[in-house]
Amino acid sequence: MRGLCYCRTCQMISGGAGNLFMAVDAKGFQFTKGTPRSFNKNDRPWSPTRHFCEACGVHLTARSERAPSAVLIKVGTLDDLSVFEGPQLVTWTSEMQKFHLLPSDVPAHPQFPRPKDSDRSVSESPTA
């Protein structure tokens, strides 16, 4: 899954813009160099743990208990940005600012869409 998140948290970590991410299977994911620092604000249920480069502070990934089988990779950290190919969905449009833009022909959701087989509320906090 490739996405663009406009939640307030993503706006803060991006400097005001949205946050482009790619979701990958956690089982096949590992950092290939170094050990990132992690941070979890723990200010609300399902708050994601974010991983940062220890050397430069760049935000690398996010993981959430809400989606333990996935890792959200921040697109700007990819060696080849062309693999992203644009978002397949936009999340948290309910928190967008007037200056944010929606890509055309991409499904947009007021919150993070809940998987069909999930009974958890997604309105508690974003995961990107």
Whether residue 121 is contained in a domain is answered as no
* 24-64 pLDDT, tens digit each: 999 999 998 889 999 888 776 677 889 999 888 889 999 88
Contact 72, 62 (CB under 8 A): yes
Counts of helices then strands in the chain (DSSP H, E): 1, 7
How large is the average pLDDT for residues 11-16? 89
Dihedral sign, Cα of residue 31, residue 34, residue 35, residue 40: negative
Whether residue 119 is contained in a domain is answered as no
pLDDT for the residue numbered 122: 45
pLDDT for the residue numbered 24: 92
Read off the pLDDT band of 10 (50, 70, 90). confident
Task: Say which residues have a Cβ less than 8 Å from residue 62's Cβ, sequence separation at least 6.
Answer: 21, 48, 49, 50, 51, 71, 72, 74, 127, 128
CATH number for 6 = 3.90.1590.10
* 70-121 pLDDT, tens digit each: 999 999 999 899 999 999 999 999 999 999 999 999 999 998 887 665 554 4
**pTM score:** 0.79
Whether residue 126 is contained in a domain is answered as no
Higher pLDDT, 13 or 84: 84
* Joined tokens for residue 109: 């959701």
Whether residue 31 is contained in a domain is answered as yes
Note down the domain range covering 71. 2-95
Number of domains in the chain: 1
Whether residue 73 is contained in a domain is answered as yes
Task: Say which residues have a Cβ less than 8 Å from residue 122's Cβ, sequence separation at least 6.
Answer: 66, 111, 112, 113, 114
How far is the CA of 41 from the CAs of 2, 12, 38, 84, 104, in angstroms?
A: 24, 13, 10, 28, 33
Which residues is 4 bridged to in the sheet? Answer: 20, 90
